[in-house]
Amino acid sequence: MKIVVTGGAGFIGSHIADAYIESGHEVHVLDDFSTGRKANVNPKATLHSADIAEPQARALIESIKPDVLSHHAAQMDVRHSVTDPTFDARVNIIGFINLLEGCKSAGVKKVIFASSGGAVYGEQEVFPAPETHRTEPASPYGVSKRTGELYLSYYRQAYGLTYIALRYANVYGPRQSAHGEAGVVAIFASMLCAGKTPVINGDGRQTRDYVYVSDVVSANVAALTSDFSGSINIGTGVETDVVAIFEQLCGALGCTVAPRHGPAKPGEQRRSSLDNRHAGAVLGWQPKVRLTEGLRRTAEYFRGTVNR
């Protein structure tokens, strides 16, 4: 297959591009390098530099004529979406519509969309949350991701464009940036490797569902050949609090640092976890990397980046 991976120089997208190339597919990476790194791009991929909200990006889709669009380019910083919702909407909504228009013109068969389980559901009422959980996003980022899903549903009905929206839990692993929209695992690992003590917001008992990047990649590989069209949770179904992440990273790195607590972040979601049974049924997918092992691998990656 011919596949365009937007955000293919970023954390998740670059791993997905690697897997598609390894499977023998022709991969084109589209990235504006606002957060992605050229060092992440597989040398066997064809690289295109473009802003997804600009006409050039649509023109690239129309000229490449891929079979599949794997859309992982995004404004991913929840807090930035609150302070600048217009920018969030420009990237995550207008940019995505621009690409979908290109897909319509180019005859693209399928879109695989990186959505967010934690963000689209908002404060959960059920743990872990199934795909049928009500969607009441608590941030502009969550609104933009849910809007992307709704546009996909429209394009399927209007133009026959099939899609799979993968509602990711908190993805972590090698290549994740410790800056910008970084997750707590990357921030903690980077700081601990540099001999610094990270700050835990509030009591640190807020929970998230942490899924290792290789498991997310395997879900994307399965999505290529699945006949399913709709939204699917990609998570472990297990809640882990921030203090536990800190302690396990300290253990993996051999640190003896005492946790340092700061004020709680206003409006921060308290708990989150995703029911993954639907992914098992329609994709044959299950997470394979346990948190302890994933944190060990991530710690080793950050130890290597500090030593380089």
φ, ψ of residue 74 to 5 degrees: the values are -165, 160
DSSP string covering 223-238: HHH----EEEEES-S-
Q: Residue 262: beta bridge partners?
A: 201
Task: Give me the catalytic one of 141, 168, 172, 210.
Answer: 141
Q: Is residue 172 annotated as a catalytic residue, yes or no?
A: no
Neighbours of 234 (CB within 10 A): 27
Tell me the CB-side half-sphere exposure of residue 170, using CA atoms within 13 A.
27
Q: How far apart are CA 242 and CA 184, in angstroms?
A: 8
Pairing status of strand 110-116 against strand 210-212: unpaired
- The residues, ordered by sequence, that sit 6+ positions from 4 with a Cβ below 8 Å of its Cβ are 27, 28, 29, 30, 60, 61, 64, 66, 68, 69, 70
Rounded Cα distance between 64 and 160, Å, is: 20
CA dist 31 and 47 (Å) reads 8
Q: Which of 242, 253, 243, 236 is nearest to 295 (CA)?
A: 253
CA distance 92 to 85: 10
Residue 21: enclosing H or E segment and its boundaries?
A: helix 11-22
* Catalytic residue positions, numbered: 141
